[in-house]
Amino acid sequence: MDGDEFTYIDDSQTPQIHGSGTEDDHNQGWAGRACQLPLWGALFNGYSGAYRIYLNDCYVFNKHILTSYEYSLTKKERFPKGGNTDVTIFYYKANSGPNLQLTDEIDVGNHYSETQHQYQISQQTWQGSRKDQYDAYERNLDYGAYTDDGRAFSGSSKFTVAVDLKNQGIKLRKRINRNGNGVQSAEVFVDGNKVGRPWHIVTPSLSTRKVPASDGGTSLQPTNATGRDVNGWYNSDFEVPASFTSGKEKVQVEIRYVASPQKNEISEFHYWIYSYR
C-alpha cells in the first residue's frame, strides 16, 4: 500500500503525476477501510478492491498514458520478491485518434544533430556527458539510467525545428539535469516573438549515488535524505500556442536564460518537438 503511483503522460520519461502511496491515490490513507462513495472508495480497504473516478481532476493525454504502481520495500520482510497488482482502467477515447505527433528532435551535444538544426549557444558554462537516472522505484533505483551529452549556459540557445504545417500549436519537451540545480527558468521566443509566460522548472535538486551497503554489496542511497527515488534526469514540457506556429513547417526557437536562486545556468540535453493536430 505504501508504493507510489507514477503516471507518465504522452511518453514523458518523468512522471507528471507522482503520488505518495497507492491507497492515497484512492483518497484513503494508512491502509484505508471499506468505504463506498460515488467517486472513490473500496470494497475491502484503500488498496484491495479500491476505486476512484477522476471527474473533477481528469488525467488528460493526447497520445499515450502509462500508470505504474510501485511495490514498496516497506513490507520487504513479508514479501521479499514483491507482489502483483491487478488494475482495471476505463477511459474516454476520441474517435479521431492521437492528436499529438512527434515532428522533430534535437540531440544537444551531438554535432550532426546540432548542425541539422542550426543550433547556436551563447555564454556557455558547461559542455560534456553525464550519467544519471530518471525518478526511480524503491525496488529499481537504477530505473531510467541514461548517459547523455549536453550543454549549460547563462545566455541563450537557438535552433530551428520542423513542425506540422497544419499544427494547432506545439509542445516543446526537453531533458535537463537537476542535480544541484533544481530551479531553471527561461524565456521562450518563437521566430523572434516572445511567448507570454516563462519556462519555469522547479524540482528537487537531488540525484542518487551508490554507497556501500551493510550486507557487503551496493545500494543506491540519496545525496539528500528527503527521498531516494528522486534522480537527476528530468523531462519538462512547454506549450506554444498556435498563434506562433500555425501555417508553418519550420520555426526558430530561442531559449533565453532567466536568473534563478540556485545556479547561474540552465541545462539542456535533448529536445522533442510535438505538433498538435
Q: What is this structure's pTM?
A: 0.87
Domains of the chain: 5-75 (no CATH), 100-276 (2.60.120)
Show Cβ contacts of residue 117 under 8 Å, excluding neighbours closer than 6 positions: 104, 106, 159, 160, 161
Rounded to an integer, the average pLDDT of 166-186 is 95
pLDDT computed for residue 76 by the predictor: 67
pLDDT tens track for 23-53: 888 888 888 899 999 999 999 988 888 999 9
Given a cut of 50, whether residue 211 has pLDDT beyond it is no
Alpha-carbon distances, residue 78 vs 15, 45, 81, 96 (angstroms): 28, 19, 9, 47
Residue 103's pLDDT band, with cuts at 50, 70 and 90, is very high
Residue 75's pLDDT band, with cuts at 50, 70 and 90, is low
- Rg of the chain, C-alpha, whole Å: 21
- If you average pLDDT over every residue of the chain, what do you get? 87
Highest mean pLDDT among 25-39, 95-109, 234-248: 234-248
pLDDT computed for residue 24 by the predictor: 86
Higher-pLDDT residue of 17 and 22 is 17
Residues, the chain, total? 277
Say if residues 126 and 181 touch (Cβ distance below 8 Å): no
